[in-house]
Amino acid sequence: MTETKFGATESVGEGRVTVQFATFNEVDYHGDITLPGAFTEGQEVLVSSYNHASWKEAWPVGRGRIRTDSRAAYADLQFFLDTLAGSEAFKTVRATGNLQQWSYGFNIDKHRIVRDEDGDEVRILERVNVYEVSPVLQGAGRSTRTVAVKDSPSAAPEVPADLAAIRESLFSAEVSNAEALAVAHSQYLLDSTSTLLSGSHLGDAT
């Protein structure tokens, strides 16, 4: 029986992505300002299908962990490459590169309302509980981005067993043919030499 341990997001190989999904002390497109300390350091989250589709019927495509610095909140994500949805989502995020934006689904634990210099309400997010992060066409945050994409280590790609067997067979056949040609060529040289020697001997006899 194979034991699966949940709680760790580390994985060897490709499928790992680091994203910036929120920026502190910046008014976003929804009129919110998120303060440093609003997120729980190390909180585990799911990765939603594109545009938060996992809130509807789409499967989650990965999982990750939140970390922060004084400027922004990040998520280190591991996409589920053994699922079709996860693999396709990762390929899309990798392909979109610096054009990709991010968003997150959350509940507000603590906030307050202030007014800006124009008299408009601004919501200050002091504590939030994040459930998922998602690649989106346009995020509410102004500075969301893909920070890094982790591909497989540079190494020779794994060759399927059946293809490897075919290659081995072809290689063996090529070696056998080369050896056969070498033997035939050597035999030809020996026969030619023998014929020349025999001809010379007969010439001398006559």
- Domain ranges, residue 204: 160-206
Same domain, 176 and 87: no
Phi and psi angles of residue 68, each rounded to the nearest 5 degrees, phi first: -140, 160
Q: Kindly state whether residue 84 falls inside one of the protein's structural domains.
A: yes
Alpha-carbon distances, residue 66 vs 20, 60, 115, 158, 166 (angstroms): 10, 17, 30, 33, 46
Say if strands 121-136 and 44-47 run parallel, antiparallel, or are unpaired.
parallel
**Where among 102, 123, 150 does a domain terminate?**
150
Q: Kindly state whether residue 123 falls inside one of the protein's structural domains.
A: yes
Tell me the helix, strand and coil percentages in the chain, rounded to 5.
Answer: 35, 35, 35
For residue 62 the two structure tokens come to 């990965």
Same domain, 169 and 143: no
For residue 151 the two structure tokens come to 């591909």
Same domain, 84 and 167: no
Q: Kindly state whether residue 155 falls inside one of the protein's structural domains.
A: no
Same domain, 27 and 100: yes
For residue 178 the two structure tokens come to 């080369």
Q: Kindly state whether residue 3 falls inside one of the protein's structural domains.
A: no
Three-state secondary structure call for residue 169: helix
End-to-end CA distance of the chain: 89
> Which of these ranges, 38-47, 50-59, 106-115, 145-154, has the smallest mean pLDDT?
145-154
Residue 169: band (very low, low, confident or very high) from pLDDT cuts 50, 70, 90: low
Residue 175: band (very low, low, confident or very high) from pLDDT cuts 50, 70, 90: very low
Same domain, 95 and 197: no
For residue 30 the two structure tokens come to 């929804």
**Where among 109, 132, 150 does a domain terminate?**
150
Number of domains in the chain: 2
**Where among 127, 150, 173 does a domain terminate?**
150
Q: Max CA-CA distance within the chain?
A: 126
Q: Kindly state whether residue 179 falls inside one of the protein's structural domains.
A: yes
> Mean pLDDT over all residues of the chain?
79
Same domain, 185 and 97: no
Same domain, 32 and 54: yes
Task: List pLDDT tens digits, range 100-157.
Answer: 999 999 999 999 999 988 888 999 999 999 999 999 999 999 999 999 998 755 433 4
Same domain, 181 and 142: no
Instruction: Give the pLDDT confidence score for residue 14 in this predicted structure.
Output: 87
Same domain, 100 and 181: no
Same domain, 43 and 137: yes
CB-CB contact of 106 with 129 (8 Å): yes
Residue from 51, 36, 34, 33 nearest 102 by CA = 51
Task: List pLDDT tens digits, range 97-116.
Answer: 999 999 999 999 999 999 98
Q: Kindly state whether residue 49 falls inside one of the protein's structural domains.
A: yes
pLDDT above 50 for 196: no
Q: Stretch 16-41: mean pLDDT, rounded?
A: 97
Residue 74: band (very low, low, confident or very high) from pLDDT cuts 50, 70, 90: very high
